[in-house]
Structure 1
């Protein structure tokens, strides 16, 4: 008896920042049937830039319990809606730097990925050597004269302290203080759902299904044959010739392990069958620890809901200083923290975390341990960053908006520790000879056939900037690799070799 026909040539699992790109690009081939499945709802309207709908009882975010360091537990939220976290975040769209990609496989060097950064964007304000002018994602910046007083005072304070002005933080190795590139227009986020997916929905070979929870990839031997899903409480097998996982660094690693791909000893201990022993699944992920400094406002400035959460940042020596334009209580519904804050984040941390399964039930969230600030170098770097932030906070320039630091502001990095929500690298790419690699340099899962990964989980090391723009680039590149392409067309002026 022949096997039943597949419901699609390709199933894309996860309609987030990467999945929307992959579904749109692959369905441009009219001979390929593409099915995109997303666990969350189908709304692709990201809403105003200055509100983050990820607080308690959010219907567009998934919440996970995590341990930031021993004794410090909290919860984190990730977007669970078409557009993913890019539909609910602050619109920060800074690329990884040229130096970040030196630790990636050669075919992911900066000169190799730059054409895809250019392909994905419309950024007519930047140098055309580095920027595209006809891509789906609009990239904008707030002019200094239009900035919130907190952002303007922060840039003045950085200048007074001798930091250079970085007009374009998306240049290859930009450092200094400058405006944040935003995936936004007129104060509203533009997610990949609205930029890539919506213009493609009329294609007869593209189907998008929301409210579908993927439980595992199903194999015949080592060949993927589809995805087991749950729809309204009923389990079904959706058959496909190829599966592309875009469920994010948490969801993709979780799904692979429940599919039998991961550390064999861990899977066997939970009674899960082992399809491919890949010890690196969930191991040594990266993220950016953040400590915030509260201050007393010198004046209260009315803030529109379309005002970006971050309009400007300082990048220096692996530290990112973030002058939030409003207290978190005004940014995230349900959060009670009413103090304005400066954030201090380590962008090249040594610390590495681990994600493991809690049980054999795919409905149970994974165990996520960040192990932040476990190295002496990370602790020293955080103290240095906090000293720098206090200096800016107490400067004359910032004194226009800040009267003084709050009493009891943390003097050690262990207090008031949080995360930047940039978790990456749970399924890192590498050579097949590397036992800890999960995907090869074409993002094919090692040890099986028919499964690829196209999200931040493949990053060998988390980029030294927030990963959203790099996630979209990864999805563009993997889509092109599936099509058999090597590089989008670009002229000699725009080749941008560094």
Structure 2
């Protein structure tokens, strides 16, 4: 069968693109998603649980890439918005200084407003959800407060969360489900793609892993930075390696004097520093939230949010190898966290002498930038030198200094609205 537009991946971007383009009743839109539909009442949708499994035993709605460090993505209708921590913070204003095409200040703001309701609602039903536990409230007092939302600034800010009643409100809930009765929109879960069909230099559709083909006038890859890169390289459309950026993270651990009270979300507050770090005031040990995680100790994270160096994505047979760049200079932020945790102000929460820096460098599961707009794609996601193909997901973000989820959805709104008129 043939469609006007074939969207590969019903994740945070794919749900938006499919909804926008299917508003035209004359345009036939087909969406293929490798993962299942996860019901809204499923326990895995609870914000206080991250049901991911492990690299060797993945959860049904998760897909793992590599193990040093392990990287995991959503594998379901709704993509990573089904399994992530619910962090829905806009990028900083100055992140967009070099963006072109339709990404002007007004258009960007309107798209974010649609999603988060100016930090208080929107299609993604965003709010803070929570009063942080006592240890987080004590940590917050060590830094100045930012101005009111919706835009992040330097200092402490409570993390906006996309939820409804303590359960993740996903991109599928907000965009795909309301459009599901349109006769020109066909959504196919459980349909992994085995490769792209390339004919005379043009992408003409996809080959399904189960056999058979789907053809379209245009293919839009929305499979996430890692999934999209693997598909492009495996199909021979783009040679590897491809660049990839991440927010690498150092954990400053401590022993708690008392067991922290249960919290509805892992990351209730963050601090953004003038030096480009994000200090993450986690509510408790990760094992309280992530099923199967090894029990350790509570921690405060320090992530480099404006990395200067890219890692690489390479294909080894059928396996995507992810080689992340080392973390940049965040020593000042780490030292400040150690100082605060060791201070008298935290003495009622932190065991004296227990504060230490974890030697393992982690990551934020925020891969982006493999096909950045203005470099490898145009400002509507068209891949340079490849006809019939666009990419709309984290791959095309030129930069992002906060969690990319909200910004990926914002970009999908802007691009989707532009494509409707083409």
The TM-score by the shorter chain falls in which range?
A: over 0.9
TM-score normalised by structure 1 residue count: 0.79
The question of 1:93 aligning with 2:88 is answered yes
Q: Secondary structure at the match of 1:421?
A: coil
Q: Is the Cα–Cα contact under 8 Å of residues 393 and 405 in structure 1 kept in the other structure?
A: no
The within-5 A match list for 1:424-435 is 424-430=368-374
Q: Is the Cα–Cα contact under 8 Å of residues 169 and 181 in structure 1 kept in the other structure?
A: no
Distance 2:115 2:367 in 1: 22
Q: Secondary structure at the match of 2:357?
A: coil
Q: Secondary structure at the match of 1:108?
A: coil
Q: Alignment partner for residue 235 of structure 2, among 244, 259, 279?
A: 259
Q: 1:44 to 1:352 in 2, by over 3 A?
A: farther
The question of 1:177 aligning with 2:177 is answered no
Displacement of 1:408 in angstroms is 5.3
Alpha carbon RMSD of aligned pairs, Å? 2.0
Show the counterpart of 1:244: 220
Displacement of 1:112 in angstroms is 3.8
Show the counterpart of 2:388: 450
Displacement of 1:407 in angstroms is 6.2
Q: Secondary structure at the match of 1:212?
A: coil
Distance 1:168 1:261 in 2: 45
The question of 1:65 aligning with 2:66 is answered yes
Q: Note the alpha carbon deviations across 1:424-470, whole angstroms, 9 max, x for none.
A: 0011111xxxxxx3211121111122211111100122x11010000
Displacement of 1:137 in angstroms is 1.2
Show the counterpart of 2:133: 148
Q: Is the Cα–Cα contact under 8 Å of residues 167 and 179 in structure 1 kept in the other structure?
A: no
Displacement of 1:203 in angstroms is 1.5
The question of 1:286 aligning with 2:281 is answered no
Show the counterpart of 1:25: 20
Gaps of 5+ in 2: none
Q: 1:404 to 1:475 in 2, by over 3 A?
A: farther
Show the counterpart of 1:312: 269
Q: Is the Cα–Cα contact under 8 Å of residues 260 and 284 in structure 2 kept in the other structure?
A: no
Displacement of 1:106 in angstroms is 5.3
Gaps of 5+ in 1: 1-5, 67-72, 126-132, 267-281, 431-436, 486-498
Bigger shift: residues 43-52 or 183-192: 43-52
Q: Is the Cα–Cα contact under 8 Å of residues 253 and 356 in structure 2 kept in the other structure?
A: no
Q: 1:82 to 1:456 in 2, by over 3 A?
A: same
Show the counterpart of 1:70: none
Show the counterpart of 2:306: 348
Displacement of 1:182 in angstroms is 0.9
Displacement of 1:7 in angstroms is 2.9
Q: Is the Cα–Cα contact under 8 Å of residues 221 and 391 in structure 2 kept in the other structure?
A: yes
Count of residues paired in the alignment: 415
Q: Is the Cα–Cα contact under 8 Å of residues 79 and 86 in structure 1 kept in the other structure?
A: yes
Which protein shows a greater Rg? Answer: 1
The within-5 A match list for 1:109-258 is 109-123=104-118, 125=120, 135-142=122-129, 146-156=131-141, 158=142, 163-166=143-146, 168-171=148-151, 174-231=153-210, 235-258=211-234
TM-score normalised by structure 2 residue count: 0.93
Show the counterpart of 1:394: 342
Q: Is the Cα–Cα contact under 8 Å of residues 78 and 84 in structure 1 kept in the other structure?
A: yes
Distance 1:330 1:353 in 2: 31
Distance 1:122 1:419 in 2: 29
